[in-house]
Amino acid sequence: MTLIVLTTTVATLLLNDNQKRKTLKIQMQPSSIDAGTTGQIRITKGHQPGIGATNPSRGEVLIQGGFIDEPKGGTKLDDLSRKAIWATSATADQSLTVEEESEL
């Protein structure tokens, strides 16, 4: 199931820990779909995003249309990607889609 999430400058929990997670897909909506999506979103795994450009916990940055699609190259999903997934936007509200597939 695909979720459409609106994240703000306050950390948003996208997905809870899920040790049965097999795939993870997160995409920041392009501005052609959501005209207000023009900033950046930071995605972190296992902890809330940190603040500041030099903070090592600030996470992976997505810009409009950018995405995370894991696992890569036919490998298994790593343990960190099975932890809670968090997002925060650098500016005003930003939209993204979130999808996970789990083992039965």
Q: What is the pLDDT along the chain (104 residues), one digit of tens a residue?
A: 688 888 888 889 999 999 999 999 999 988 888 877 778 888 999 988 766 555 666 788 898 889 999 998 888 999 999 999 999 887 778 899 999 999 98
Task: Report all structural domains of the chain as residue ranges with CATH numbers, in order of start.
Answer: 2-102 (2.60.120)
Strand segments (E) across the chain: 2-7, 12-15, 21-28, 40-45, 60-63, 67-70, 85-89, 94-102
Could you give the CA distance from residue 20 to residue 76 in angstroms, rounded to a whole number? 11
Q: What six digits make up the tokens of 29?
A: 């909506």
The predicted pLDDT at position 103 comes to 92
- The pTM assigned to this predicted structure is 0.86
